[in-house]
A = this chain, B = another copy of it.
Amino acid sequence: MLIPFIPFFPNSSMAPPKKLKGLVAATITPMTPDGKINLPVIRQYVDYLVNEQNVKNVFVNGTTGEGLSLSIQERKQLAEEWMCQGKDKLDHVIIHVGALNLPECQELARHAAAIGADGIAVIAPFFFKPTNKGRELSQNRPVFPHMRLLFWTVRVEELLDGIKAQIPTFQGVKFSDTDLLDLAQCIHKNGTGEFEFLYGVDEQLLGALALGANGAVGSTYNYLGRQTNLMLQAFAKPDFALAQQYQFLTGEFLNFVIKLGFGVAQTKAVMTSVSGIPMGPPRLPLVAASGEFIAKAKAKLDSIVWPNGD
């Protein structure tokens, strides 16, 4: 399971950074039918997230956004467009800057800072991986003022020991594993609220909330953000029966589409179908969702009766 880390930039060197809570949409990258990124759609996308889904934080160029299938230039253009269109509308724009090669990763990090992004995130290495456990921290080299890239594949809980000394601007973790023991230990050992823990397995978010997660990053918040926000409210009340009802229903949809084969290409199609925003086809090696999938997924989603009467 890949575990991206989220070190945030401070907004300024003086002011404490804004706290990131609640839902973060892992954004889709809109493309034209011939496979180019479709920048003009971002404006509409921002408005949709804010007005229709009540989601004001985005995670750009991540896996859902096919970030690793884009060129460096494309990733910069997208980041700039989200910053531009999100101005005064979005609370947090986090740019994923992970890449297989370190020079490009550093270049993207510098760019994110230069355009004023609220934070960056870096996927853990997944092709080459560090093997000399215990040596990585001491060998990390400065990548960006006040920020160092950190590569690790062990338990997240171990990683957080002393991380502030390594990455002074480190602010949190996107935790995308079903192993809640590790998550609980992370939260517990950083109990002063120093860091934020955003959960990344949408279909069991309620379990993570019970263990103390601060919020969530996920692709379903693009089109089920409003319902999930209602789940967060029910949990905060607390009204467990209601929160469970929301989690069951989003799970029922996901369970259904997972059996049909569900990935980024399918997410793109579902979002197009739900929002009316043309997200376009995915880029190779992904291939577009079939018409049959789209029809079935839409029918399933339409059939769900939400507690709030939707």
How many chain A residues sit at the interface, stated as a range, is 35 or more
Least Cβ–Cβ distance between A133 and chain B, in angstroms: 10
Shortest A139–chain B CB gap in Å is: 6
* A104 on the B face (CB < 8 A): yes
A137 CB to closest chain B CB (Å) equals: 11
Minimum Cβ distance to chain B for residue A292 (Å): 11
Interchain CB contact under 8 A, A101 and B69: yes
> Using Cβ atoms and an 8 Å threshold, which residues of chain B touch A243?
210
Cα(A178)–Cα(B155), bound, Å: 16
Establish whether residues B127 and A126, one from each chain, have CB atoms under 8 Å apart when the complex forms: yes
Q: Which residue of B lies closest to A238 (CB)?
A: B238
Q: Which residue of B lies closest to A68 (CB)?
A: B100
Instruction: Assess whether A294 is interfacial by the CB under 8 Å rule.
Output: no
* Contact residue among B71, B248, B284, B290 (Cβ-Cβ distance under 8 Å from A141): B284
Q: Does A14 contact B (CB under 8 A)?
A: no
- The verdict on A180 contacting chain B, using a C-beta distance below 8 Å, is yes
**Chain B contacts for A180, CB-based, 8 A:** 178, 203-204, 207
Hey, what's the 0/1 contact readout for A42-65 against B, CB within 8 Å counting as 1? 000000000000000000000000
In the complex, what distance in Å separates the CA atom of A151 from the CA atom of B283?
A: 12
Q: Are B136 and A101 in contact (CB under 8 A)?
A: no
- Please indicate the chain B residues that have their CB under 8 angstroms from the CB of A151 in the complex: 284-285
With A157-B255, A184-B248 given, is the CB distance from A286 to B128 under 8 Å? yes
A62-104, CB < 8 A from B: 66, 68-71, 74, 100-104
Q: Please determine whether A251 and B185 come into contact, CB atoms closer than 8 angstroms.
A: yes
Are B127 and A68 in contact (CB-based, < 8 A)? yes
- How long is the Cα–Cα vector from A104 to B100 in the complex, in angstroms? 13
A100's nearest neighbour on chain B, judged by CB, is: B68
Nearest CB in chain B: distance from A232 CB, A:
13
Q: Does A209 contact B (CB under 8 A)?
A: yes
Interface assignment of A115: CB less than 8 Å from any CB of chain B: no
Complex Cα–Cα for A209 and B126 (A): 32
Within 8 A of B (CB), among A117-135: 125-132, 135
13 more A-B residue pairs beyond the given contacts A128-B285, A181-B203, A188-B252, with a C-beta to C-beta distance below 8 A: A100-B100, A102-B283, A130-B287, A131-B287, A139-B287, A151-B285, A181-B254, A185-B255, A188-B244, A206-B207, A209-B210, A210-B243, A211-B244
Q: Chain A residues in contact with chain B, CB under 8 A?
A: 66, 68-71, 74, 100-104, 125-132, 135-136, 139-141, 149, 151, 155, 157, 178-182, 184-185, 187-188, 203-204, 206-212, 238, 240, 243-244, 247-248, 251-252, 254-255, 261, 263-265, 283-287, 290
